[in-house]
């Protein structure tokens, strides 16, 4: 995989002081944990950094930013004549023809599911799954739209799932297989993996794991109108349609969430500045045509609007019309900081010597008999020398952690996880487990007094299951 071209901020007309202010602001937010950032201007990477223990080569769960990759797959299929935007959705699923009788469902077009304009007034995922747990497309089409398709916006996971299912049906390939020669390889995107459902169909609406670099490359392809290194990959017409408002929200603006009230394209959000793909807990691909820039971010936060607010506040004023001479010191200071980014590890001390024998191989069960946040987690064993054994869904996951020396202990197996923490007192062990291919942390507290533990997700994973799945899918 070739690296993207790099430059100094000043050479591309970006004030490094503004980038530093953006980093300061991200790190100062109490409910925001940044994991990575890449900023491109004029096709050059002017700033990139990963907060250790996160790293450049690790794929990240993109959540709904996956939708923009699904849109791109649909764009290729349209260009190849495999899909027509004005075809009825039901025409791609003739086996459901007799079941789908509602006229609005039958009138739903491909462009409607591509733009979250199916006619439903709200999210339908739970209802669709209740209608048909094994075939979400059928379950979705069985729910009569509230309005005529194309007249109302509702952010709706089964709409994107249906678009992805159409692509996979007409191509005979999974999304990752179809995108590999058309998008991933031409753009130099390496490892990418997508969560699939029980039918083996990749979800489309979520579940893609890819690197921050892959996010930046997708944004650059759209910024360049579908052209990569002089070769047209996507039709210019698809890029233009995908990144303009196909449908607008009727509801009054939600206080504090103005960037979600600007309209929706083909699996891209319009924004106060440019447009973007985004995913739960702070995964962003922000494209700024006016500034000729792309911003890629991975993070953990429930306040995604705050991330964009900080970008508008600090980065937009940093863009100049031309190179900025005499900024060598500021550029060097930024580069030094980006190379040293790190998340603070959990607090904790060495195992208390006077209680070491009690802690040695001590076993802990869930407080109250069930771990509410992670019901598959049934037991934890502790080795005061710095090892935690987590029993989850029958798996014994042995994890090392620092013993009061600070820092993160990083492992790829049995899971890509970084562990930090230690003893807060003689009776209590507190450990932070950062699942490195996702935004999520699991905070574990073991109490020696009653031999119980609590485990709490800082942000709840949206794809439920045992801990072995809190990672990118692996080929079997």
Q: What distance separates the 2 farthest-apart alpha carbons in the chain?
A: 74
pLDDT at residue 404 in the model: 46
Q: Indicate the domain borders of the chain.
A: 10-58+211-339, 65-167+190-203, 353-469
Residue 253: per-residue pLDDT: 67
Residues 6+ apart with CB under 8 A from 400: 386, 387, 388, 409, 411, 419
Is the separation of the CB atoms in 136 and 128 below 8 Å? yes
| Cα separation, 42 vs 371, whole angstroms | 50
Banded pLDDT at 386 (limits 50, 70, 90)? confident
Nearest to 264 by CA among 111, 150, 69, 115: 115
Cα gap 105→116, rounded to integer Å: 14
Q: Looking at domain 10-58+211-339, which of 3.40.710.10, 1.10.1240.10, 1.10.3720.10, 3.20.20.80 is its CATH number?
A: 3.40.710.10
C-alpha gyration radius of the chain = 24
| pLDDT over 80 (residue 301) | yes
**17-49 residue pLDDT tens:** 999 999 999 999 999 999 999 999 999 999 999
pLDDT band per the 50, 70, 90 thresholds, residue 401: confident
Q: Which two tokens stand for residue 468?
A: 């072995």
CB 232 within 8 A of CB 75: no
Q: What crossing angle do the helices spanning 328-339 and 16-28 adopt, rounded to 10°?
A: 30
Between residues 224 and 401, the one the model is more confident about: 224
Q: Give 361's pLDDT tier (boundaries 50, 70, 90).
A: confident
CA distance 172 to 462: 28
Please tell me the distance from the alpha carbon of residue 125 to that of residue 130, in angstroms, as a whole number: 9
Select from 275, 284, 291, 289 the least CA-distant residue to 307. Answer: 284
pLDDT class of 384 with cuts at 50, 70, 90:
confident
pLDDT value for 249: 86
323-327, 367-371, 398-402: least confidently modelled range? 398-402
Q: How many angstroms separate the Cα of 116 from the Cα of each of 121, 265, 366, 409?
A: 10, 8, 42, 42
Output 209 or 464, whichever has higher pLDDT: 209
Map residue 48 onto helix, strand or coil. Answer: strand
Instruction: Identify the pLDDT of residue 26.
Output: 98
User: How confident is the model at residue 349, as a pLDDT?
Assistant: 80
Residue 311 burial (CB count, 10 A)? 24
Residue 100: pLDDT band (50, 70, 90) is very high
pLDDT on residue 460: 96
254-281, pLDDT tens digit by residue?
777 899 999 999 999 999 999 999 999 9
Residue 76 has pLDDT above 80, yes or no: yes
- How does residue 406 score in pLDDT terms, banded at 50, 70 and 90? low
| pLDDT score of 352 | 84
Q: What is the pLDDT of residue 417?
A: 96
Share of the chain above pLDDT 70, in %: 98
pLDDT for 252 beyond 80:
no
Tens digit of each residue's pLDDT (9 = 90 or more) over 429-442: 999 999 999 999 99
pLDDT above 90 covers a percentage of the chain that reads 89
Residue 1 has pLDDT above 70, yes or no: no
Determine the average pLDDT of the residues in 306-330. Answer: 97
Nearest to 286 by CA among 215, 213, 192, 189: 215
Is the bond leading into 292 cis (omega within 30 degrees of zero)?
A: no
Measured CA to CA, the distance from residue 205 to residue 160 in angstroms comes to 5
């Amino acid at each position: 995989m070739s690296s993207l071209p790099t430059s100094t901020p000043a050479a591309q007309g970006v004030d490094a002081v503004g980038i530093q202010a953006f980093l300061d602001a991200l790190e100062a937010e109490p409910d925001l944990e940044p994991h990575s950032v890449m900023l491109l201007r004029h096709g050059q990477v002017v700033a990139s950094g990963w907060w250790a223990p996160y790293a450049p080569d690790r794929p990240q769960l993109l959540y709904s930013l996956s939708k923009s990759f699904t849109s791109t797959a649909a764009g290729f299929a349209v260009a190849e004549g495999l899909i027509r935007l004005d075809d009825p959705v039901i025409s791609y699923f003739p086996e459901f023809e007799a079941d789908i009788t509602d006229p609005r469902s039958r009138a739903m077009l491909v462009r409607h599911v591509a733009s979250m304009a199916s006619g439903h007034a709200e999210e339908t995922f739970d209802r669709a799954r209740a209608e048909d747990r094994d075939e979400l497309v059928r379950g979705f089409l069985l729910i009569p739209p509230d309005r005529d398709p194309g007249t109302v916006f509702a952010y709706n996971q089964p709409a994107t799932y249906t678009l992805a299912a159409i692509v996979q049906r007409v191509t005979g390939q999974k999304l990752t297989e179809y995108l590999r020669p058309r998008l991933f390889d031409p753009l130099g995107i390496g490892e990418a993996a997508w969560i699939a459902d029980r039918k083996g169909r990749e979800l489309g609406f979520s579940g893609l794991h890819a690197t921050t670099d892959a996010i930046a490359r997708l944004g650059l392809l759209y910024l360049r109108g579908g052209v990569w290194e002089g070769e047209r990959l996507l039709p210019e017409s698809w890029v233009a349609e995908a990144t303009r408002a196909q449908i607008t929200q009727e509801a009054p603006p939600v206080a504090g969430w103005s960037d979600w009230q600007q309209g929706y394209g083909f699996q891209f959000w319009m924004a106060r500045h440019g447009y973007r793909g985004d995913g739960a807990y702070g995964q962003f691909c922000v494209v700024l045509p006016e500034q000729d820039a792309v911003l890629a971010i991975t993070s953990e936060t429930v306040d995604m609007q705050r991330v964009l607010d900080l970008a508008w506040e600090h980065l937009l004023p940093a863009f100049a019309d031309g190179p900025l001479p005499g900024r060598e010191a500021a550029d060097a200071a930024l580069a030094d900081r980006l190379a040293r980014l790190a998340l603070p590890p959990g607090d904790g001390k060495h195992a208390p010597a006077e209680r070491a024998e009690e802690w040695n191989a001590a076993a802990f069960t869930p407080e109250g008999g069930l771990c509410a946040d992670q019901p598959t987690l049934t037991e934890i064993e502790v080795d005061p020398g710095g090892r935690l054994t987590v029993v989850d869904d029958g798996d014994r996951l042995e994890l090392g952690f620092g013993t009061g020396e600070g820092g993160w202990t990083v492992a790829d197996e049995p899971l890509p996880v970084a562990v930090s923490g230690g003893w807060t007192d003689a009776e209590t062990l507190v450990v932070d487990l950062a699942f490195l291919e996702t935004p999520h942390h699991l905070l574990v507290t073991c109490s020696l007094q009653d031999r119980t533990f609590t485990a709490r997700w800082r942000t709840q994973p949206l794809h439920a299951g045992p801990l072995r799945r809190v990672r990118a899918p692996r080929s079997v």
